[in-house]
Structure 1
Amino acid sequence: MEYTMLKPCQEISKTGVIYEKGNLYAYFHNLSDPRHAKGKRYSLVTLLVIIFLGKLAGKDHPVEIADWAKNHRDELSKLLRVERPWTPSHSTIRRVFNEILDEAEFDRLVQAYHQEEGLDGDEILAMDGKTLRGTHRGGEAQGKHLLGVYAVNTQRVLAQEEVDTKENEITAAPRLLAKVDIEGKIVTGDALHTQKKTSQHIILAGGDYLLPVKENHPRMYADIKRLFAETDRSSA
């Protein structure tokens, strides 16, 4: 398949981010495929593009993605230059993430893809956490929880960090921010991230932060409240 190295995010519109198919292929092509050539019906690149397009179409489960691919077989064959008259089964799609794909390698590739274009000087970076659906296993208190940093202006998730079940987002935040160039940027987050270690990391990296302060930081909360009260009196 031929491809061109265009910018990963060509524009932002009401329909969201526009991805250039060739550029996605170029990045996916860098992933290692541990499978033996014998018996391999589809390249890892082809499988990942099909999964990616299926996800964009709102299909989350392997069965849904496989059905979507089957219903769009002609378009996918032309797009990906697949000569086979059939599309991957749901078991093949499931094996991509359960057995074939190196998760850490894939995370690094996605981060590089979204950070390739660079960020505007006035970009705001928002930290936010989420627990992934369908990742809760028996005996675990919660499913897989990720803390991500999101570029607000360009609508891109720049990096993610898994939060271990024995820790929380506070300890994961410095590791996450170390993956992103935050120099000259403003980092935001919820009150959970109003922590000395996190704010020091941001300042030392050349960034600024805007974090809410609640009453669980009584001294800081009182100082800020007093400062604004004095400002109100002086302006009255």
Structure 2
Amino acid sequence: MPLALDAESVQAQWQSQFAELQDPRGRQGVEHPFLSIVMIAILAVIGGATGWEDIETYAESHEAWLSTLFSLPNGVPHADTYRRLFERMAPDALERCFLGWVKQIVEGSGAQVIPIDGKTIKGSYDRNHKQSALHVVSAWASEHRLLLGQVKVASKSNEITAIPALLKLLDISGCIITLDAMGTQKEIAREIIGHGADYVLCLKANHPTLWAEVTAWFEQAEAANFAGLEHSYDARVESGHHRR
């Protein structure tokens, strides 16, 4: 069912989805409800926050609205409150809870096309510690602009092994998975079909034999105007990022 925006429904849904997430704080000196801190931080990141101060700024600028959804007996938390809490929180449990919440949204919205793509995170290279830039493989509900899941990898060349791991995190039954040429692999196609989904894969010259066979087939078919070949096509033209 889709998420409602009234306070009681929001709190009930989050309590249900984040039930396994444990508050790592002691009982002494707690000023802000655990779930309120978690919820505000997640909403802030969805809204573009990239650091603890950004989360605090988001909360302050949206305090009136947030107070209608969450318990804020002492106002919104400060940046250090978010930092201390998330540094002590179990990341795996947080990921499971978050994915469960996103899954609930997606099931209510009827998402069908899920692009999977790899990206190198800008600014993630740590020169002082000689740490290479972070590369992640992500699955999106494109029509609803939702991140469904994400797996980090050492480099772009590791996407082939990361994609099956990402698919195992998601319920993709009945969906269409799209991948670029890096993901055009037999094992990945089998994995998608095994989850009850369909796929659209990009074919490029990195698969030279298959590329040559498909290219030759289309050249012959086009020369004959597809005579005697049962076929259909669908086209959609979109504009974005100054491209068409």
Q: Structure 1 length as normaliser, TM-score? A: 0.78
SS state of the match for residue 39, structure 1? coil
Question: What is the rounded CA distance, in whole Å, between the counterparts of 2:191 and 2:26 in structure 1?
Answer: 44
1:109 aligns with 2:100: no
- Equivalent residue in structure 1 for 2:51, among 44, 61, 65: 61
Q: Is the 8 A contact 1:126 1:189 kept in 2?
A: yes
Aligned positions, number: 219
Shift of 1:179: 1.8
Q: CA deviation at 1:72?
A: 4.7
What displacement does 1:221 show? 0.3
> Residue 141 in 1 paired to residue 132 in 2?
yes
Deviation at 1:224, TM superposition (A): 0.5
Shift of 1:173: 0.4
TM-aligned CA deviation for residue 216 of structure 1:
1.5
Pairing 1:123–2:112 present? yes
SS in 2 for 1:129: strand
For 1:183-204, what per-residue CA distance to the aligned partner results, in whole angstroms no more than 9, with x for missing partners? 3322111111112221121223
Equivalent residues of 2:121, 2:136 under 8 A apart: yes
Confirm or deny that 1:87 pairs with 2:76. yes
1:122–1:186 CA contact under 8 A, matched in 2: no
Gaps of 5+ in 2: 228-244
CA offset at residue 73 of structure 1? Answer: 4.5
Query: TM-score scaled by structure 2?
Result: 0.76
In structure 1, which of residues 216, 225, 231 is the aligned counterpart of residue 206 of structure 2?
216
Q: Choose the corresponding residue for 1:189, options 168, 175, 179.
A: 179
| Candidates 216, 219, 227, aligned match of 1:229 | 219
Kept in 1: contact 2:25–2:85 (CA 8 A): no
In the alignment, the residues of structure 2 paired with residue 46 and residue 216 of structure 1 have an alpha-carbon distance, to the nearest angstrom, of 49
Distance in 2 between residues matched to 1:36 and 1:63, nearest whole Å = 24
Counterpart residue identity of residue 186, structure 1: I
More divergent stretch after superposition (204-213 vs 152-161): 152-161
Q: Which one of 138, 145, 150 corresponds to residue 140 of structure 2? A: 150
Cα RMSD (Å): 2.9
**Are residues 78 and 168 of structure 1, via their aligned partners in 2, closer, same or farther at CA, if it must alter by over 3 Å?**
same
Greater shift after overlay, 71-80 or 167-176? 71-80
Could you tell me how far 1:107 is from its partner in structure 2? 1.2
